[in-house]
Amino acid sequence: MSHPDNHLFDAYFTAPAMRAIFSDQGRLQGMLDFEAALARAEASVGLVPHTAVPAIEAACKAERYDVQALAQAIAVAGNSAIPLVKALGRVVATGVPEAERYVHLGATSQDVMDTGLVLQLRDALALVEEDLAGLAEALSRQALQHADTPLVGRTWLQHATPVTLGMKLAGVLGALTRHRQRLREVRPRLTCLQFGGASGSLAALGSKALPVAEALAAQLHLSLPEQPWHTHRDRLVEFASVLGLVAGSLGKFGRDVSLLMQTEAGEVFEPSAPGKGGSSTMPHKRNPVGAAVLIAAATRVPGLLSTLFAAMPQEHERSLGLWHAEWETLPEICCLVSGALRQARIIVDGLEVDAERMRRNLDLTQGLVLAEAVSIVLAQRLGRDKAHHLLETCCRRAVAEGRHLRAVLGEDAEVAGQLSAEELDRLLDPAHYLGQARVWVARAVAEHQRFTD
C-alpha cells in the first residue's frame, strides 16, 4: 500500500491523475467495487436476497476504512483482500447484521485484488490513451510547422547529412501512433473479469457459477474470459509491455531534445518558465528538466517490466511471491509513463526552435555534410569509385586547409569540368538536399489523423 508521505518526487515523475488511480483510496475502491458488484450479481440469480444488497453497497466506500489499520493487517494476512473483506463484513454487520453472511460469497482474495486492479488499469488505460492522443496532435502540429526547417542529421553523434526538424518530430509521431494502435488492441484482452473462487473452479457456487460470473462481468462492464487467469498473467504483462514501448519512445525523444539543447548545439529548447531548469549555484544554466523525466522513465520501466516477466511462471493455481511481486510494479510503470507523457506534452507544446542556429550548425563542417550530394551527381558522370575517391580527397584537403568544401571543389579542375558553379552552389545548399523529409512528415501526420478519426 502506498502512502502520501512517500511521494516527494510525484510532482516531477508522475501525473496526479494517475497517482490518484493507484493511491490507497483508489486501490481500496477498486476492490470494494468488485464486492458491491458481486452482491448485485448474486442477488440477480437468487443466491443473495435483494434486501442484503443495499447494506453491502453502502459499506463499499473506501473512505469508510482506516488505511493505516489495513496496512498493518496486510503485513500479517499476506494480501490486501483478507483484512479488507473482514472489515467490510464488520461494517455491513453494524448496519444490517443478517447481510454480513452474503459478503464475498464464493470469491477468493485474488478475485477481489485482480479485478480491482483491472478496474484501475481500465482507468489508467483511458488516461494514457487521452494523453497519447493529445501529445500526438501537438507533435503533428509541430511537425507540419517545421517540415522544411533544416538541421543537421547526426549519426554516431557526428554530423551526417541534412534532415528537417519536422522529420525528426514525425518519427516520434509515427511511434506514438503505433503505440495507440497497440493499446487499442490490448484493451479487450486486459479489461476482463477475474472470478474463479478458491482454486479457479468456482465450485462453491455450484450450478449458479456461470450465471453469477456473467452477471458480475456485466455489472462491472468487463468481458468474461474463457476461464479464470489467477496464475496466467499474460494480459497484465502485455499491457505493461506496451507501456514499456511508450516509455522507450518518449525516452528517445527526451534524449534527442536534451542533446539539441546542449550548449554546443543550441538548436531546440524546452519552454522556459520561472525557476525551471536552473542550478543551485550556476545562474546561467537552463537544464532540460522535462527531458530528464522522459529519460528516467525509459531507464526505470524496463527493470520494472523485467520483474513482471520474471513473475510469469506462477506455480499451480495460486502463486507464492511471484504474484506479490506484481502489486507495486505495474502501478509504478503506469505512474512513470503518465509522468513522462505529461512532461513530453509540455515540451512539445512550448518547443522553442532556433532555426538560425540550425543553419549555422549545418555549416560547421564548411560544406562537408553535403559531400554526399556532390558525390552522387559526380558518380553518374565519372563512375562511383572515381567520384567517391575524388570527393574524399577534396574533403581531406578542405579539412587540412581549414577551407569551405565549396572553394576546394571550385578549384579542382576535374570537378569543375563536370559541375558548373551554379550546380555546385545548389548541391552545397542544405535546403536542396532534404530528400523525402516533407513526404515523411505528411505520411506520419496522415496516419495519425486516420487513427484519430
Q: What is the pLDDT of residues 372-387, one digit of tens each?
A: 999 999 999 999 999 9
Residue 152 has pLDDT above 90, yes or no: yes
Please compute the mean of the pLDDT values over residues 356-364 and round it to a whole number: 96
Please compute the mean of the pLDDT values over residues 430-436 and round it to a whole number: 94
> 279 pLDDT band (50/70/90 cuts)?
very low
Catalytic, 318? Answer yes
The residue count of the chain comes to: 453
Predicted TM-score of the model (pTM): 0.93
DSSP-assigned letter for residue 6: G
Please compute the mean of the pLDDT values over residues 160-167 and round it to a whole number: 97
Distance CA 32, CA 56 (A): 10
pLDDT attached to residue 281: 56
The answer to whether 438 and 122 have CB atoms below 8 angstroms apart is: no
pLDDT attached to residue 1: 42
- Specify the 3-state DSSP secondary structure of 221: coil
Residue 54 has pLDDT above 60, yes or no: yes
- Specify the 3-state DSSP secondary structure of 5: helix
Distance CA 321, CA 240 (A): 19
Distance CA 134, CA 21 (A): 20
Percent of the chain with pLDDT over 90: 93
Distance CA 91, CA 60 (A): 9
* Nearest in space to 260 (alpha carbons), one of 291, 231, 232: 291
Residue 7 has pLDDT above 80, yes or no: no
Chain segment 228-255, per-residue pLDDT in tens: 999 999 999 999 999 999 999 999 999 9
Chain segment 97-117, per-residue pLDDT in tens: 999 999 999 999 999 999 999
Strand-pair partners of 155: 158
The answer to whether 260 and 344 have CB atoms below 8 angstroms apart is: no
Poorest-pLDDT segment among 28-32, 273-277, 417-421: 273-277
Chain segment 261-275, per-residue pLDDT in tens: 999 999 999 998 665
Q: How many helices (H) and strands (E) in the chain?
A: 20, 4
Q: Give the start-to-end residue ranges of the domains of the chain.
A: 15-107, 109-192+229-362+438-453, 368-427
Residue 81 has pLDDT above 50, yes or no: yes
Chain segment 220-234, per-residue pLDDT in tens: 999 999 999 999 999
> 300 pLDDT band (50/70/90 cuts)?
very high
* Nearest in space to 290 (alpha carbons), one of 261, 265, 266: 261
DSSP code string of 392-428: HHHHHHHHHHT--HHHHHHH-HHHHTTS-HHHHHHHT
Question: In 311-370, which ranges are continuous DSSP H helix?
Answer: 322-326, 329-349, 355-362
- Specify the 3-state DSSP secondary structure of 191: coil
Distance CA 272, CA 354 (A): 14
pLDDT attached to residue 6: 61
Distance CA 200, CA 327 (A): 20
Residue 125 has pLDDT above 80, yes or no: yes
* Mean pLDDT, the chain, whole residue set: 94
The answer to whether 19 and 55 have CB atoms below 8 angstroms apart is: no
Quote the radius of gyration of the chain (alpha carbons, Å). 30
pLDDT attached to residue 183: 98
Catalytic, 342? Answer no
- Specify the 3-state DSSP secondary structure of 260: helix
109-192+229-362+438-453 folds as Fumarase C; Chain A, domain 2 (1.20.200)
DSSP-assigned letter for residue 162: E
Q: What is the CATH number of domain 15-107?
A: 1.10.275.10
pLDDT attached to residue 5: 57
- Residues 6+ positions from 108 with CB-CB distance below 8 Å: 196, 197, 198
- Residues 6+ positions from 187 with CB-CB distance below 8 Å: 125
Please compute the mean of the pLDDT values over residues 120-135 and round it to a whole number: 98
Residue 171 has pLDDT above 50, yes or no: yes
- Residues 6+ positions from 39 with CB-CB distance below 8 Å: 48, 52, 53, 56, 57, 102, 103, 105
Q: Which of 141, 318, 359, 426 is catalytic?
A: 318
Residue 73 identity (one-letter amino acid): A
Q: What is the CATH number of domain 368-427?
A: 1.10.40.30
Q: Which of 279, 360, 384, 396 is catalytic?
A: 279
